[in-house]
Chains A and B, each alone.
Chain A
Amino acid sequence: MKALRRQRALADYTLAALARRKVKNLALVGVFSLVVFLLASAMFFASALRHEASAALEGVPDLIVQHLSLGRQGMISEDRIAELESIRGVSKVRGRLWGYYYDRVSGANYTVMVPDGGQMPAPGQVIVGEGIPRARGLDWEGAPLFLSRKQGDLNRFDIAQIYSSDSALLTADLLLMNEADFRAFFSVPEGVYTDIAARVRNANELATIIDKATSLMPDERFVSRDDIARTYMKLFDWREGLMVALGAMAMLAFAIFAADKASGLSAEEAREIGILKAIGWDTRDVIAMKLWEGGLVSVGAFLLGAVAAYAHVFWFGAPLFAPVLKGWAVIYPDFALAPVIDGSQLVTLFLLTVLPYAAATVVPVWRAASADPDAVMR
């Protein structure tokens, strides 16, 4: 209890002391919170992207089979579907048709797909994501979409439906076509597909199934959903790590700045320490008071920076970092990030910012606190 009372009195005193040097301390908190803001924005944004990616990947088939020719992906033969179906544990095998279309009018790439089942558009019609009318400037309802593959070629498609922006991350540049239209438009012969997707009922069997399938069709490449998820996670981790490493440089610069600030005591502060020691505080009390000061400054800056980063990322869509972290495209989906933060991130951020600051200021604080009262006051 006594210890608690002592700490409370110290905190009380420190707050008053901080308020006496408002400008200097506000400047310190301001710069510190800027550093925290940079680091926190990068971390929050990357974690939100990881979350989006894993949510998006839930709809991805368990297993994708691609044909490799000359080391690149080629069209895969229809016969593979039956071969794959013959493996026990594999279900819902279907060939997929998809590709990219470069639109010279808007300078953007569209993802063209043939949907399976449900939403198959009628011949001559397409379903598009919200990004395509936006890129093309098709402002009015019912405007047809003209696609040209080469000079003098024009194909008319009627837009049957436009996806809303709720699913923009997945559908912004999507163009769904009827199978016959797709084959005619891209000159894809019958009997081949872009790749084959399959479900595997028991996830634990996936590795065995891939083994069996590989020996059955050695020319094909098998990509599981976990492979894709891992790649995404690594990619985002790496980008986040780079941003954080850059931010850590800022943190280092700030730590040097803070150490410098703490060692260059103003005459007034030196006098204050001198008076405190003259009236009976010992070195330990002065250090404790100074640590309180550092603690209040860093917690204040931490909260300010973290809240600002939260607002920046989740309310304003991280305009400062988006180009680096999410990549870039002509048709970029407009999507709101789901706020995903966990305790470990905050702990990490706290260690990453407050610890260097504390370590940088302890030595100057100690030097000031352990000086003789008459020496500092003189």
Chain B
Amino acid sequence: MIFRTPILTLLLVSALAILVALGAAWFGQRVLRQWDLASGSRAQLVMERRTELISTLFAMVMLAEAVALFLFVFNADRMAALFVGAMCAVGTLNVNAYGFPALYAKISVFFAAAVWLVIDHVDRLGRDYPLTRAKYALVLAIAPLVLLAGGLELTYYLGLKTDVITSCCSKLFTPANAGLSDEMAAVDPALALWALAGAEALVLGLGAYAVQTGRGHGAFALAGAGFFAVAMTAIISVISLYIYENPNHHCPFCILQREYGYIGYAFYIPLFGATALALGLGAVAPFKRRDSLRAPLPPVLKRLTLWAMAGFAAFGAVTIYAILRSHLILLG
């Protein structure tokens, strides 16, 4: 199964990411131990130069990882036709025990990478590399994650046997299959919608406050993370029902399919993008008071907050559109 172009590509991206992450981590531990901006030693100068290379490479690979996450899901969806019993990405990912862990690991890499990219961007704003230590401490945390995601992905793809009978998404989100997915599907639709509306109001309100006053980015980040959880629950418990126009089908992957006009991407891209930005904001906001960042950081925070708010708002707008367009009457 490994001879499939998207799989080869994903493995290539993972391999490159692992290579770069290991190199960056090696460099990162040196930075953490020896970084001393006041020193004019040769080692320090070489290190300062090298940060440019590592930042560029790491940023490039992390961007590729973000694209790869969507390719991973899209490919899983496409491959469903190859497995008996699979009808969407859930079936493909369930073929062996490594599918879903690989997906979760890739999602974690995506968010960690986004946070890192925001920190890197901010770090480049200050003339004295204000966040370099934080940045490389984070690299040390991301590198094992990248390694884990790559390993899980490889194990998953090597273990894809097409004679396995897998289970369809309609089985996963039922009480017969106890777990988080079942709990999320069982949330009352009205409750889920109200919670979504509340989270939307909260996150937009906190965002507006942060934009107005230049404070409270940490709270905005927390609200963003909360919104992500509420939104995923809402997709599984109620929004998917409206999209499929079927009160029993809860799958969050089938909405990515052609039959539903790929509408899932309109949900997930703004949601993941906005959440990633919010997390990044939360990570850099504490550094607002650094001398070299006092001037350049606030406008960047403001811009990123506006983008994140746009993403959260877009998610809400797509939700309203999906519900209005649907012929299913679930409430009232």
Chain A residues within CB distance 8 Å of chain B: 43, 46, 226, 229-230, 233-234, 237-238, 240-242, 244-245, 248, 283-284, 287, 291, 344-345, 347-348, 351-352, 355-356, 358-359, 362-363, 366, 369-370
Cβ-neighbour of B5 out of A244, A287, A356 (below 8 A): A244
Asked whether, in the complex, the Cβ of A359 is within 8 Å of the Cβ of B52, the reply is no
Q: Which residues, 114 to 130 on B, are CB-close (under 8 Å) to A? A: 124
Cβ-neighbour of B3 out of A43, A245, A344, A363 (below 8 A): A245
Asked whether, in the complex, the Cβ of B3 is within 8 Å of the Cβ of A241, the reply is yes
Cβ-neighbour of B9 out of A237, A242, A351, A363 (below 8 A): A351
Q: What per-residue 1/0 map shows which CB atoms of B63-84 lie under 8 Å from chain A?
A: 0100110110011001001101
Chain B neighbourhood of A369, CB < 8 A = 52
Asked whether, in the complex, the Cβ of A351 is within 8 Å of the Cβ of B3, the reply is no
Chain B neighbourhood of A242, CB < 8 A = 3
Counted as pairs of residues, one from A and one from B, with CB atoms less than 8 Å apart, the total is 92
Q: How far is it, in angstroms, between the C-alpha of A191 and the C-alpha of B71 when the chains are bound?
A: 53
Cβ-neighbour of A230 out of B6, B12, B20, B81 (below 8 A): B81
Find the B residue at minimum CB distance from A50. B81
Asked whether, in the complex, the Cβ of B78 is within 8 Å of the Cβ of A363, the reply is no
Chain B neighbourhood of A226, CB < 8 A = 84
Most chain B CB within a 10 A radius of its CB, from A46, A237, A284: A237
Chain B residues within CB distance 8 Å of chain A: 2-9, 12-13, 16, 20, 49, 52-53, 56-57, 60-61, 64, 67-68, 70-71, 74-75, 78, 81-82, 84, 124, 162
Q: How far is it, in angstroms, between the C-alpha of A238 and the C-alpha of B16 when the chains are bound?
A: 23
Asked whether, in the complex, the Cβ of B12 is within 8 Å of the Cβ of A344, the reply is no
Asked whether, in the complex, the Cβ of B56 is within 8 Å of the Cβ of A366, the reply is yes
Give, as a whole number of angstroms, the nearest-CB distance from B17 to chain A.
Answer: 10
Asked whether, in the complex, the Cβ of B12 is within 8 Å of the Cβ of A284, the reply is no
Q: How far is it, in angstroms, between the C-alpha of A233 and the C-alpha of B162 when the chains are bound?
A: 12
Q: How far is it, in angstroms, between the C-alpha of A43 and the C-alpha of B52 when the chains are bound?
A: 36
Asked whether, in the complex, the Cβ of A355 is within 8 Å of the Cβ of B12, the reply is yes
Most chain A CB within a 10 A radius of its CB, from B6, B7, B13, B81: B6
Q: How far is it, in angstroms, between the C-alpha of A366 and the C-alpha of B48 when the chains are bound?
A: 12
Asked whether, in the complex, the Cβ of B4 is within 8 Å of the Cβ of A237, the reply is yes
Chain B neighbourhood of A356, CB < 8 A = 12, 16
Chain B neighbourhood of A352, CB < 8 A = 5, 8-9, 12
Asked whether, in the complex, the Cβ of B5 is within 8 Å of the Cβ of A351, the reply is no
